[in-house]
Amino acid sequence: MRLSELQPSPGAKQAKKRVGRGPGSGWGKTAGRGHKGQTSRSGGTKGPGFEGGQMPLTRRIPKRGFNNIFRKPWAIINLRDLQRFAAHSVVDEAALKEAGLVAAKSKRIKLLAQGAVSVPLTVKVQAVSAQAKARLEAAGGQVEVL
């Protein structure tokens, strides 16, 4: 096989449909938009929340309290989740993401005390509860708050 012989699979590349190019094409005159009306015109669509003039659902339901759009949620890890790591290993953000315990986009991780840990580990997280810290240190591990 040579570089000059490479080509896409049959049917992988398709020519762009050229509408409005005369009656012989089958897509002339109204160019597939039909006659008159809102959708025949350019920009003739309403937004995703539009309900034909009826008061939209998002405006009908009551709103209470304050919703902070800048909130940064915590990813929660419990002591029982740490049992899978080998003794004396360093459990940081990268290790937790690799193990699938924390989502890839999570920025802040908090360790809570649900369950028990029996192996000594070094855990590096942004926050830890007092009870979780005490249990981890009792097992011979240590916690570093970043």
Q: Where are the domains of the chain?
A: 74-145
Contact criterion met (CB below 8 Å) for 76 and 110: yes
Q: HSE on the CB side for 26, CA within 13 Å?
A: 1
Instruction: Give me the mean pLDDT over the 3-27 stretch.
Output: 92
pTM: 0.54
Q: In whole angstroms, what is the distance from residue 91 CA to residue 72 CA?
A: 22
The third-level CATH classification (topology) of the domain covering 74-145 is: Ribosomal Protein L15; Chain: K; domain 2 (3.100.10)
**pLDDT surpasses 90 at 62:** yes
Per residue in 66-104, pLDDT (tens digit) is 989 998 888 898 988 888 888 888 888 888 888 888 887
Q: What are phi and psi of 45, to 5 degrees?
A: -135, 150
**pLDDT surpasses 90 at 12:** yes
